[in-house]
Amino acid sequence: MTTTLELSTESSSRRAERIRLLAQPAVVLILVAGVLVWAFSQDLDATDRETLNGPSLLQMLYEHMLITVLVSALVVVIAVPLGVLLTRPGWRRLAPLFIGIANIGQAAPALGVLVLFFLATGAEGGLWVVVLPLAFYSLLPVLRNTMVGLQEVDPALIDAGRGIGMSAGAVLARIELPLAVPMILAGLRTSLVLAVGTATFAAFVDAGGFGVLIDTGYKLNRLPVLLTGAVLAVALALMVDWLGAVAERYLGPKGLR
Amino acid sequence: MTDVTASASTGEELPRDAAGTASDGTTTGAEITLTNVTKRYPGSKTPAVDDVTMTIPAGKIVILVGPSGCGKTTTMRMINRLIEPTSGTIRIGGEDTQSLNPDRLRRKIGYAIQQAGLFPHFTVAQNIAVVPKLLGWDKKRIDDRVDELLDMVGLDVGTFRDRYPRQLSGGQQQRVGVARALAADPPVLLMDEPFGAVDPITRGNLQDELLRLQSELHKTIVFVTHDFDEAVKLGDKIAVLGEASKILQYDTPEAILATPADDTVAGFVGAGASLKQLTLLRVRDVELRQEAVTVDIDESPAAVREKLSRSHNPYALVLDRRRRPCRWVHARDLPRATSLATAGKPLRDVVSTQSTLQDALEAMLAEGGAVPVTGPQGQYAGTIHLETVIETIQTLREEHNGGDSTGADGGTQQEAR
């Protein structure tokens, strides 16, 4: 009885996942097309046209994505090796310390972390002023998932690997990390979505992105500008989330799927 | 055994040089010696393994058996240095294991564990190929070896080569685990309760397969289990271990069953030691009697009556034209009989010289007395009697009572198997 129940819930959740994989990009496209058609059909004055034009929208998309990619790359480069290190014997004691620090990063409001970093460094603004604090902000999901993914690898597999003559490094690279990939990807997907969302704050430190539209639209009370910025930011976040889902589905190790 | 000291300098080639090589080119077992091996974990007063000294003969299956937590697994894991001994020396084929890099050492020692420990993201072929790849074999040689091993452990190459472990049953996974352990043709195999997690029928099959493989490969196998029946079935020698891996008795299964060294061993052997002993002995090992009257199936009932009255025997065993036993006939059946092919009662149970004494006993209980024994082609070879079985067990007990039963090489029964 219970097994049939589990089977049906599993298959229905799988079906939901499959529908989402197909529907999500479609919804995003409709959303983007809809808001652009609507905005450009409005009676736009010269001030609106300053920001609402093809080239500058593409420029903002580029900036927004650049920030997202840099933040994610930085997160992966820092969090995965740190997660590996903190699950090695001898380093495990330090795990609570680093998890704690990463927790503070995420618990603090993203805008606060950004502004504090801006003030503390006395920087004039620009790309790295937004990338570094946002990387700190979205570090935790990847760090925690890397550690959990590695800890969940069956100790018998590690024992078998060492027992047949694989070095500790080979066991890590060929057994532990590949088996932890699904968890790491899930963490990365969360981090990416966090990064896309918080990248809208880049406008405050003069690093561009769709936040510029929201900021301008709000300050000058221009609804088409504000709405376009908000919808495009949401659409990009949904798109990145979808890419993450696709990656989780197809990049995990064969044999586990 | 070839010159082991010569191989010590190269380090790399230890097992191939140190171990013998069978006629078909596969590596046969190397002797393992443990000398005063102790493992003491920091912060623990009592050692996990205390001063173990034992010799594991080349080409034999030695079972380490004992209760959970007695240190048998720790003892085994010190052989391939998954656990480093605190003190003492372990030599394989004469070479100190400490003289090698542990990873290189382990590539020359097969390792199979409970639930197989197959890597779930590797195919069957990739799992088996791990060690050959580490040893730098070329692709062709690895592919050929994988196919050979799958065949050896009874898995169809076409069906199983590219499957993932989760697509296999427990027994199939275990076979792949054994194939992986044998991949680089190591002289020594360590098996840690490899059949502990499969159902009893599959376990029995896997045990039979292991014995068949061993009869071809002659590896030195150290096998850890807590199941004494498994130890009796598989072991050439059994080491019964107590607290801190103390060797309570190290002898052949026959000797341990006949004369347990102390009450702890006796308790571990469990009830029915004599019955277990019967599974170790074959009918060909005991004396058959030739006192039964045998008659040819074509003889006339009258002639048989004549024979029986002369020998003062109520029964005659009817043999067919190829001298295979087929019926018992009693003197009182004969007056009414027209032919021996229908007189008396047919045989229900026949044992062969290959059968175990346990099978013979079972047949005796069913037949209600002596049971005819057949030779290799099914021809009559004599009868086996209950008294013979009882005497055999008695003799074994007396023999083992007479000798030193701990640590000695209990040779005579070894050869008898």
Q: Does residue A3 belong to any structural domain of this protein?
A: no
CA distance B149 to B17: 23
CA distance B188 to A182: 37
Is B122's CB within 8 Å of A164's CB? no
Is A178's CB within 8 Å of B103's CB? no
How much is the pLDDT for A125? Answer: 66
Specify the higher pLDDT residue, A180 or B353. Answer: A180
What is the three-class DSSP state of B323? Answer: coil
C-beta separation of B198 from B134 below 8 A: no
SS (H, E, C) chain A: CHHHHHHHHHHHHHHHHHHHHHHHHHHHHHHHHHHHHHHHHCCCCHHHHHHCCHHHHHHHHHHHHHHHHHHHHHHHHHHHHHHHHCCCCCCHHHHHHHHHHHHHHHHCCHHHHHHHHHHHHCCCCCHHHHHHHHHHHCHHHHHHHHHHHHHCCCHHHHHHHHHCCCCHHHHHHHHHHHHHHHHHHHHHHHHHHHHHHHHHHHHHHCCCCCHHHHHHHHHCCCHHHHHHHHHHHHHHHHHHHHHHHHHHHHHCCCCCC
Q: Is any Cβ of chain A less than 8 angstroms from the Cβ of B237?
A: no
CA distance B287 to B290: 10
Residues of B in contact with A164 (CB under 8 A): 106-107, 110-111, 130-131, 180-181
**Cα angle value A226/A231/A237 (rounded, 5°):** 130
Domain count, chain A: 1
Q: Does residue A244 belong to any structural domain of this protein?
A: yes
Is B106's CB within 8 Å of A175's CB? no
Q: How many CB atoms lie within 10 A of CB B275?
A: 13
pLDDT single digits (tens) B267-291 = 888 777 778 888 888 888 888 888 8
Token pair in block for residue A161 = 């690997």
Chain A interface disruption, residue of B73, B105, B130, most A CBs within 10 A: B130
Question: Which of A159, A167, A179 has the CB atom closest to B113's CB atom?
Answer: A159
Is B120's CB within 8 Å of A256's CB? yes
Instruction: Enter the CATH code of domain B285-390.
Output: 3.10.580.10
CA distance B153 to B116: 14
Q: Does residue A234 belong to any structural domain of this protein?
A: yes
How near does any CA of chain A get to the CA of B374, in Å? 47
Residues of B in contact with A166 (CB under 8 A): 103, 130, 134
DSSP state of B137: -
Mean pLDDT lowest for which of A178-192, A210-224, B160-174? A210-224
Mean pLDDT of chain A: 86
Closest CA to B165 of B206, B124, B202: B124
How much is the pLDDT for A85? Answer: 93
Q: Does residue A72 belong to any structural domain of this protein?
A: yes
B61-65/B49-56 β-pairing: unpaired
Strand partners, A11: none
pTM assigned to the model: 0.74
Q: Which domain holds residue A118?
A: 65-251
Please say if the pLDDT value at position A120 is more than 70: yes
CA distance B133 to B168: 23
Is B80's CB within 8 Å of A163's CB? yes
Residues of A in contact with B82 (CB under 8 A): 159, 162-163
Residues of B in contact with A170 (CB under 8 A): 134
How much is the pLDDT for A9? Answer: 59
How near does any CA of chain A get to the CA of B119, in Å? 6
Task: Answer whether CATH 3.40.50.2300 is correct for domain B4-108+220-271.
Answer: no
Please state the domain extents for chain B.
Answer: 4-108+220-271, 285-390
- Whether B285-390 and B4-108+220-271 are alike in CATH topology: the answer is no
How much is the pLDDT for B96? Answer: 94
Q: Does residue A170 belong to any structural domain of this protein?
A: yes
Q: Does residue A185 belong to any structural domain of this protein?
A: yes
Q: Does residue A196 belong to any structural domain of this protein?
A: yes
Specify the higher pLDDT residue, A139 or A105. Answer: A139
Please say if the pLDDT value at position A223 is more than 80: yes
Q: Is any Cβ of chain A less than 8 angstroms from the Cβ of B133?
A: no
Token pair in block for residue B294 = 């045998």
CA distance B89 to B52: 10
Residues of chain B with pLDDT under 50: 1-19, 403-417
pLDDT single digits (tens) A84-116 = 999 998 888 888 888 888 888 777 788 888 888
Residues of A in contact with B120 (CB under 8 A): 157, 179, 253, 255-256
Q: Which amino acid is at B35?
A: T
Q: Is any Cβ of chain A less than 8 angstroms from the Cβ of B54?
A: no
How much is the pLDDT for B124? Answer: 95
CA distance A233 to A223: 15
Report which secondary-structure segment, H or E, holds B267: helix B263-269
Question: Which of A157, A164, A174 has the CB atom closest to B180's CB atom?
Answer: A164
How near does any CA of chain A get to the CA of B105, in Å? 7
Is B106's CB within 8 Å of A161's CB? no
